[in-house]
Structure 1
């Protein structure tokens, strides 16, 4: 049944990634076990939906919490059953939305994922995160050659990929 679900998700435009075989806290296992947890899922995905999954690991419990942890190396690259794998990015568990890809605080290998739960706009629920975007989001003016950003974020503006930066003042 899981194979049917995976195929349905891909056929309907969903991205399917890796969340480990057994959902362990990756802080509590060694690098060899980490390779089994991550590589085992990649092997299964390649068997069921070859080439149609994203090489991203949603970290169980959001751990490890930093890129310096020894298991991160085995999350990003390893070998399982003689087959090498490479992970391009990881997803943390976070309380708030990640920085814009145009911010120098953005790290494409260690992305925040916000929890999608409802708590009446409190305790970093989905509504609170959407409300916070009103004063912090980078917006589009429809021109693919520009990046429009909050004026208050000037100092954090990172690489703009040869786009013309345009500051704006958010409405109060």
Structure 2
């Protein structure tokens, strides 16, 4: 897709190496949208398609464009490591996303291609690693405590209609500072019941690089079992601890250990670029890049969230823009070579 296309990385204005930009054909797991418009007859179908093309052209839809997947950790008043964000910083970034026309979607929706957002808007995936209590702590009435990430997200969404208060939480054994299965189930259940997505981050946050197949599958299966034992909800994505892939990438995607099977629709890394559209040949579910949440300081002057959001605003032709119809994959005609073959029957070029 233009500047981010694998094989044309030198064109990147920021000079950043794109991560995992090769497609995987049959291993690509984004679910197809619903069938194209079905009308009573050919004439009606033709008119409906013409109207859909007009809408796509009007909003300059590009559903082959790049999607920022932002990676957060703790949201605390006094940061102690570079990955920490203050409540004010987190709120400011959400306000910026809302102002720039982004709509949050979950990692589940992204990797399965179920991106249902209004025409002219852009998806963003908010992800939280390590299940810190600063992300969500419930008070005695079951409400998120002030200045936790969830409370801030809900507050910003209430002020900006259409800005969905959804995100994906990649949990580990130390789950939101809670103790005992009842408290953990209560917190995970609250997230599920309020539209949030829960993903696997392994049970013990183990670095999977260089580990044996048995060690890799044991950790991932144990993380999956932890989640499903608490809320009976099967995660569909994995975030790799430290962003490190095992020696055989597919071990992170699918496997079995201890009687627990997992088969994910996407595996997330830890940086540096926006992710490819799930409808693009560039989409690689085995290694989906994320962007660190950080201001333009040091290396982050080019590689982190503020810099990338600035870049996408300056290059709207490379950003995913919705046509508002989940049944179609809309894009300018000249981008047709980049459509993944399995979505050929759902395209809406204009």
Give the secondary structure class of the aligned counterpart of 2:276: coil
Matched-pair contact (CA < 8 Å) for 1:138–1:147? no
- In the alignment, which of 43, 49, 60 is matched to residue 241 of structure 2? 60
Aligned residues: 160
Kindly name which structure, 1 or 2, has the bigger radius of gyration based on alpha carbons.
Answer: 2
Query: 1:142/1:57 Cα in 2 relative to 1: closer, same or farther (>3 Å)?
Result: closer
Q: Is the 8 A contact 2:250 2:286 kept in 1?
A: no
Q: 1:26 to 1:116 in 2, by over 3 A?
A: same
Change (3 A) 1:149 1:62: farther
* Residue among 25, 30, 38 paired with 2:220: 38
What secondary structure, in the 3-state scheme, does the structure 2 residue paired with 1:75 have? helix
Task: Name the residue aligned to 1:130.
Answer: 309
* Preserved CA contact (<8 Å) 2:269 2:290: yes
Tell me which residue corresponds to 2:70: none
1:28 maps to 210
Structure 1 position 20, deviation (Å): 0.7
Match of 1:87 in 2: 264
Structure number with the bigger relative contact order (C-alpha 8 A, sep ≥ 6) is 2
**What is the Cα deviation at residue 92 of structure 1?**
1.1
- Match runs of 1:105-124 below 5 Å: 105-119=282-296, 122-124=301-303
Please, what TM-score do these two structures have when normalized by structure 1?
0.77
Paired residue secondary structure (1:40): helix
Cα deviation, 1:13-64, whole Å, max 9, x if unaligned, reads 11101001121221132111111110001111110011x2422110111111
Match of 1:164 in 2: 348
| 1:13 matched to 2:13 | no
| Secondary structure of residue in 1 paired with 2:269 | strand
Q: Which runs of 4+ in 1 moved over 6 A?
A: none
String of CA shifts for 1:134-153, please: whole Å, max 9, x gaps: 241132334553512495x5
Offset at residue 114 of structure 1 (A)? 1.7
- How far, CA to CA, are the matches of 1:150 and 1:139 in structure 2? 15
- 1:76 is displaced (CA, Å) by 2.5
- Greater strand content: 1
User: In 1, distance between residues paired with 2:257 and 2:238?
Assistant: 15
Q: Structure 2: give runs of 5+ residues left out of the alignment.
A: 1-177, 179-183
Three-state SS of the structure 1 residue aligned to 2:273 is coil
Deviations 1:141-167 (A, max 9, x none): 34553512495x55534444422213x
Where does structure 1 lack aligned partners over 5 or more consecutive residues?
167-172
The two structures, once aligned, show a CA RMSD in angstroms of 2.5
